[in-house]
Structure 1
Amino acid sequence: MYLVYLAGDPSIAYLHLRSNSTPPTTSNPNIPRKRVAVIGAGLTGVSSAAHCVGHGFDVQIFESRPKDKGLGGIWSRVNSTSALQVHSLMYRFHPSVHYDSAYPSQKQIQEQIISLWKRYDLERRTVFDTRITSVKKTKQGKWIINDNEGEYGQFDGILACTGVCGDPKMPPLPDQDQFGGQIFHSSNLDGKDVKGKKVLIVGGGASAIEALEFAVKSGAGEIDVLSRSDKWIIPRNVLVQSLLACNIFGQEISLSWIPEWLLRKFFYRDLEDIAPTDDGIFTQTPMANSELFNQIREGKAHWVRGDIVSVEKTGVLFNHRAKGVPKGGPGREGLIEGDVIVMATGFKRPSLNFLPNEVFDEPYSPPSWYLQVFPPKYPDICANNSTYVDAIGTVGNMHIGIYTRFLIMFLTDPLTRPTEEWMKTWIDFTRFMKKLAPTRAFDFFTYAELIYWYIFVLIINPFRWKWALFVFFGIGRSLPLIVVEQENALRRELKKQRKSH
C-alpha cells in the first residue's frame, strides 16, 4: 500500500512515457470514438479530461467561472501563502505531474494544472463562463448539455468534476458590525496587512490552518484560533499519512485506539488537551500540519475551544469550554482581544443539481452511489471527487485516473456495465459491511477501502477481468478493444441469425 502511495498513480510508468507526445486516438472503426462532457476545470476536471484524451476519447470541458478564477478550481482562488497539507507524493493528480518541493505552494500547484491543460490540448476543448443547468439523456442514450445540442453536440458520458469547494462560506457573527477592525474570509488574505497585529481565526478546519500559515508568514503579533470543536491533526509526514490510510475497513475499529494513542503521546505530547476525545480519527478528515503545534509551543498562537457569544469593538466575547463539554455547553466567558478577524469557515459545496432528478432519490442519493461516484441507473455518469464527505488518503490523485478509466470501460464495453439493480445491491452490501461505523457508510473512507472497492467490483464480473490492467495501470487497452470487437461481432451475427429464422 505504501508503494502505491509513493507512485502517486499506478499508471505512472505507462502514461509518463506518453505525457509529452500526441495523445492516441481509437483507430478501430467498429468501435467509434466516444465523447465525454467534463463539468469543471479544476484539478479533477483537467486531470480526468487528460486521461480521457490520452486514451483516445474526445472531451468538452465546461467551467462556470472565467478562466482566471476557474482554471485550476479552488487552487486559482486561494491565497498565495497556501500550500499543500499532504506530501506532494500523495497529490500527483496526473502521472505527468512533477513538483519541485515536498509541500508545493498554491502557485506551483496551479502551474501544474495549467501545464497539464495545455499539454493535452484541452484549451480548445474548454468553454468558460458556462454554467451547466441540466444534462438530459435522449432516447438513443446520448447526453445533451443545457438543452443545447446545436452548440455543444451530444455526449456518450458525463464526468461531473465540480469538487467540494465553491464560493467562500462566511456566516455572520453576532454583532459583528461593532468590531473596530477588519473581517476577512480565509481565502481572501493576499495583500492584507497583519504585521504585529492580533489575529483571531474563527474555525478549526483546514482553512484555519491556512489562515494560521498566512498570519505566521505575515508577522502577526499574536494568533488565536477560535474553534467550536477539537480536530484531529496529523504530522506532515508521508509515512504516517500512508499508514493511517491503510485501514481497509474505512471506519473506527477495535484497534483504532492504537494510532490515536500514538498521535497523542508522540505528536500532540504536551498539547494532548486539544486532541479530540469524542470523535475517532477514522470519522473525519484530519488536518495535516505541524506548524500549529510549533506556534503554540512558542507562545505565538493559541488554540481556544468554545463558542462565540458576540463581537465587541476590540475583539470577541468567547465562551471557553472545558475538554469534553459539547458545543453550546457551559463554560467561562471572556473577551479575546483582536485587531483582525479571519473567517476560516470554509466554502459552499458546489451543487450537482444539473444531474437528472432521479439520482437524488433516497435511499440512493449521493454519496450513497455505486463506488460512491456512479449514480444507480447511470453508469455513464461519474461524479469524480464530487461526492465524498470525509476521508483519510490522497483524495484527488490516483483514483482520478482509476475512476475515469472505469467510466471509459463502461462506455466502451457494454458487457461491463452494471445494471441499476446491481449498483443498488453493491450500495446495500457496503452499508451492511459498515453498519457498525460511527458515521454513515459512505460518509468516511480510507484509501485502502477504495482499493478494496475497486478490486471487488472488477473481480465480481468476469467480463471486466480483461480490463483490470487498464483500469488500475492505464495499460492494455488495445487488447480489451480487440476482445470487445469480437464480442460485438458475435452479437451482430447472433442477431442476424435470429432475424433470418
Structure 2
Amino acid sequence: MVGDRLHGVDVDGRSHAIRAAVIGAGMGGILAAIKLRERGIACVVFEKGDGFGGTWRENTYPGLACDVSAHWYTYSFARNPDWKSLMADGPDIRDYFDRVAREYGIDAITRFGQEVADLRYHDGGWILETVQGHRERFDVVIAATGVLHHPNVPRFEGMDSFAGDLFHSARWDHSVALDDRRIGVVGTGSTAAQLTSALVPRARRFDLFQRTAQWVLPRENVPYSDDERRRFRENPEELEALVAELRAKTLEGYAAAVIDVDSPELAAIERLCRENLETVRDPELRKRLTPDYRAACKRLVISGTFYDAIQQENAHLVTAPIRRIEPEGLRTEDGVLHDLDVLVLATGFQVDRFIRPTTVAGRGGVSLDDVWADGPHAYLSVSLPDFPNLFLLNGPNSPIGNFSLVEVAQHQIEYILKLIEGITRGDYAEVCVKEEAMRRFEDERCAAARRTVWVTGCDSWYLDKRGVPASWTFSYDRFETEMARPRMEDFETR
C-alpha cells in the first residue's frame, strides 16, 4: 500500500524514520540491507529470483568458481574461516551469502519472486511497482542489481534446428547428461575456461569455439588444510593478516597495472602470461591461443588448469568463425561440420543493463533510458542528476576486474549511508549529484582512460559504444579516498 508520507523529515524539521527499498538480493543487496538496518533504517529487499546470491544463484555451471581470493571476497564483518581453498567454488560462495543473509535476518525482509518493473519519483518519494503487481512508496531506493544476470545470447542461423541440447552457461540445464558426449562451448572468457577444465575430462570430444584468444594468468588453487582452517577460526587476527596480504598482492599488481600501460606492474603480468602460454607444447596450438593485444586489455582469465585441459587428446580448439548451427552440430566458415550432442553458449552478459529493464523515471519524469542513451554513467558510480535518493551499488564506472567487488561495495554503501544520514537528520529531504559535477567527473574519467590498458586495441566488454572503458580509470587509492566522505558541494539538496 502506498504510504502517506512525502519525505523522511517532518515539517518542523525533526528527523523520523524513513523507509528504503533495496533492489536485488545478491552480494550488494544483502550488504545494503544489513547496513541500513544497523543504522535503524527500515528496508525491504525486492528479488526477482527465488533465493539469495545474485550471480552465484544464476550461475551453476560445472567448474564455476571465483577468480578472486576467497578470504578477500567476503564481508569484512562476516569472515569465513572455513573456505576450502584459495579461490572458492560457486556453490560454496552462494552458501556463504545465503548464510550471512539469514544470520542477519535479511530473509525476513526480502520479497522473493518480486521483479521490480517500474520506479517513479513523485512528490518527494519513489513509487515502486513489481511485475507481480505490488505497489509501494519509499523514501530511498538502493539499486544493487549487479550486471552479470542478463545473459548475452548471440543469434546464430539455425539455432532452433539443433537436435541436441543448447543453452547459455548462466541457464545451465542440469538434466542434460555430459559424460562421454560430444560437447561444444562457444566463448573463451573466464566461464569458458572454467568449463573447459571441468568438461574435458568428462567429454568424449570437446570443441572450444574461439573468436578471440585470451591471456591466461596462472594461479594454483591451493587448498587450506584442516589445521589452517582451525587456526583461522581460533585466531581471527591471523585470518585478517591473510586477507590483508591477499588484498595487497592484488592491488599492488593488477590494480596498478591496468591504469598505466607503461607500468612495471603491467610488464610483470605480461611476462607471467607469456611464460604460462609457453606451457602449450604444440607450436601451432600455442600460436592460435596467442592474443594479438596486450595482457589485461580484456579481463584476465585466471586459471592454472585451462592450458592443460585444452591440450588433451579429446579437446579441440576451433578458431574458424561460426557460420550456422545445424541439427547435427555447428558448421564453421571453413565448411567443417562439428558434430555435437551438447552446445553451451559461454557468451557472457549484457553488462550495460544494471537496473534495467526496470523503467526508471526521475524528477520531472526524466527517463533513465534517455540519460543512458550513450552508455551508463554515474557520479562515483553511485548517484545521478535528477534521480534524488536513488543510489547504485557497483554501478556504472565502479572499479572492476580481478579484485574484490565485495570490498568495493562496502566502500560504496558507507558513502551512500552518509548521504542518507543527512535525510534522517533532517538536513534535507532529497539529495542527488549536480549536473555540473557529473559532467566534470565523467570528463576527468574519460581523460584518464587514455592511459589505461583497456584502450590499447582490444574489443572488450569493458568498452562502451564510444570506445571508453565503462570502469574506474583512476587509482584504487583514489577510489578509497573519494569514498571516505561525500563532497557535499557536488550534491544538490532540497
TM over 0.5: yes
Cross-structure match for 1:316: 330
Cross-structure match for 2:78: 96
Q: Percent identity?
A: 20
Task: Give the Å deviation of 1:222.
Answer: 2.6
| Equivalent residues of 1:157, 1:381 under 8 A apart | yes
Aligned match for 1:170, one of 135, 153, 156:
153
Equivalent AA in structure 2 for residue 355 of structure 1: V
| Equivalent residues of 1:159, 1:381 under 8 A apart | yes
Task: Give the Å deviation of 1:342.
Answer: 1.7
Q: TM-score, normalised by structure 2?
A: 0.73
Task: Give the Å deviation of 1:126.
Answer: 1.3
Cα 1:410–1:145 shift into 2, 3 Å:
same
| Equivalent residues of 1:196, 1:220 under 8 A apart | yes
Cross-structure match for 1:396: 405
Q: Are residues 1:455 and 2:439 paired?
A: no
| Equivalent residues of 2:218, 2:304 under 8 A apart | yes
Cross-structure match for 2:127: 144
> Using the alignment, how far apart are the partners of 1:443 and 1:59 within structure 2?
30
> Using the alignment, how far apart are the partners of 2:434 and 2:175 within structure 1?
53
> Using the alignment, how far apart are the partners of 1:125 and 1:175 within structure 2?
45
Per-residue Cα deviation, 1:260-294 (whole angstroms, up to 9, x for no partner): 53133322214453555443334322222222112
Aligned match for 2:418, one of 409, 422, 425:
409
> Using the alignment, how far apart are the partners of 1:336 and 1:258 within structure 2?
39
Unmatched 5+ stretches in structure 1: 1-28, 320-331, 465-501
Aligned ranges for residues 9-20 of structure 1 at < 5 Å? none
Aligned match for 2:317, one of 293, 303, 311:
303
Q: Are residues 1:373 and 2:382 paired?
A: yes
Cross-structure match for 1:422: 437
Unmatched 5+ stretches in structure 2: 1-12, 221-245, 281-285, 456-462
Cα 1:442–1:38 shift into 2, 3 Å:
farther
Cross-structure match for 1:323: none
> Using the alignment, how far apart are the partners of 2:146 and 2:52 within structure 1?
13
Q: Which range is displaced more, 344-353 or 281-290? A: 344-353
| Equivalent residues of 2:118, 2:359 under 8 A apart | yes
Per-residue Cα deviation, 1:110-161 (whole angstroms, up to 9, x for no partner): 211221221222222111222222222233x33221299x976543321111
Cross-structure match for 1:292: 306
Aligned match for 1:266, one of 257, 275, 282:
275
> Using the alignment, how far apart are the partners of 1:445 and 1:274 within structure 2?
32
Per-residue Cα deviation, 1:307-335 (whole angstroms, up to 9, x for no partner): 1123345433224xxxxxxxxxxxx5434
> Using the alignment, how far apart are the partners of 1:281 and 1:274 within structure 2?
16
Tell me the secondary structure at the aligned position of residue 382 of structure 2: coil
C-alpha root-mean-square deviation of aligned residues, in Å? 3.5
Aligned match for 2:36, one of 52, 63, 66:
52
Task: Give the Å deviation of 1:358.
Answer: 4.2
Cα 1:363–1:193 shift into 2, 3 Å:
closer
Task: Give the Å deviation of 1:62.
Answer: 0.9
Cross-structure match for 1:472: none
Aligned match for 1:385, one of 389, 394, 415:
394
| Equivalent residues of 1:229, 1:306 under 8 A apart | no
Cα 1:290–1:127 shift into 2, 3 Å:
same
Higher helix share: 1
Aligned match for 1:338, one of 320, 324, 340:
340
Cα 1:358–1:457 shift into 2, 3 Å:
farther
Task: Give the Å deviation of 1:377.
Answer: 3.6
> Using the alignment, how far apart are the partners of 1:275 and 1:261 within structure 2?
15
Equivalent AA in structure 1 for residue 445 of structure 2: T
> Using the alignment, how far apart are the partners of 1:363 and 1:72 within structure 2?
27
Tell me the secondary structure at the aligned position of residue 256 of structure 2: coil
Cross-structure match for 1:443: 470
Number of residue pairs the alignment of both structures matches: 417
> Using the alignment, how far apart are the partners of 2:433 and 2:160 within structure 1?
55
> Using the alignment, how far apart are the partners of 1:305 and 1:244 within structure 2?
31
Task: Give the Å deviation of 1:398.
Answer: 0.4
Cα 1:201–1:240 shift into 2, 3 Å:
farther
> Using the alignment, how far apart are the partners of 2:348 and 2:121 within structure 1?
34
> Using the alignment, how far apart are the partners of 2:373 and 2:385 within structure 1?
7
